[in-house]
Amino acid sequence: MKLYNFSLAPNGMRVSAFLKEKGLKLDVHELDVRAGDQFKEPFQSMNPFNCVPFLELDNGSIISESVSICRYLEELHPEPQLFGDTPEKRAKIDMWNRRLELDALSPMGHAIRNKLPMFEGKVLAGTRNNIEQSPVVIERAFQMLNIFMGRVDPHLASNDFISGSEFSVADITGYFLFAGCDRLGFEISTEFANVLSWKARIIDRNCFKL
């Protein structure tokens, strides 16, 4: 089994943090995404969606998407459990992970591509279109992030972690939300005290010291 990764990318770091929390080591092959390795052979044929990371199984099968990779590894190595050990826990962890990805990470990603100078004029993956940065997109993303923080803050008043009392894969997603906010210069309002307390509980966790 081999993991093809770009360790500087958030999704690559998510899988790396998951592996570290699990105490797992894989054979890792680094792809230089900035040089377009993911579009070259044999990687293009192995993973036509060109997303990194992706996992090559011993039988030659390919699993891409960071959470799908983590879910597969959890099935092989269930302890410590990070996806839940009951149907209810699994559903709630999946629910919070989806909320984080769709309502927070997605707008944050748009903001990053539209704010950071390194993305200006870059070709969008899988297209021939260049990124035209827009302050309107950034403003809208910040609005969506504030809406998300307002929704999640009351929940965290009675939960140590995002899906309850136990650290999970959803908290790993949450860490990279906080890392992205810091990168953007998006300051989480002090009115979201429970979100800030959650951040403080996970930010220095050993799995994130990559």
- pLDDT exceeds 60 at position 181: yes
Q: What is the pLDDT of residues 127-152, one digit of tens each?
A: 445 667 788 988 999 999 999 999 99
pLDDT of 53 reads 96
Region 115-119: what's the mean pLDDT? 73
Look up residue 11 and give its two tokens.
């999704």
Look up residue 32 and give its two tokens.
């230089």
Give the separation between CA 158 and CA 80, rounded to whole angstroms: 23
Sorted by where each begins, the domain ranges of the chain are 2-76, 87-208
Query: Which residues does residue 91 pair with via DSSP β-bridges, in sequence order?
Result: none
Compute the C-alpha angle 54/56/62, nearest 5°. 70
Give the separation between CA 21 and CA 25, rounded to whole angstroms: 11
Helix (H) or strand (E) holding 4: strand 2-5
Region 143-170: what's the mean pLDDT? 97
Q: What is the mean pLDDT of the chain?
A: 92
87-208 folds as Glutathione S-transferase Yfyf (Class Pi); Chain A, domain 2 (1.20.1050)
H-only helix segments in the chain:
10-22, 43-46, 66-76, 87-100, 106-115, 135-156, 169-184, 193-202
Q: Taking phi first (over 0 means left), then psi (-120 to 50 degrees means alpha), and beta for anything else, what does residue 16 get?
A: alpha
Q: What is the pLDDT of residues 39-84, one digit of tens each?
A: 999 999 999 999 999 999 999 999 999 999 999 999 999 999 999 9
Phi, psi at residue 44, to the nearest 5°?
A: -60, -45
pLDDT of 116 reads 76
2-76 folds as Glutaredoxin (3.40.30)
pLDDT of 42 reads 96
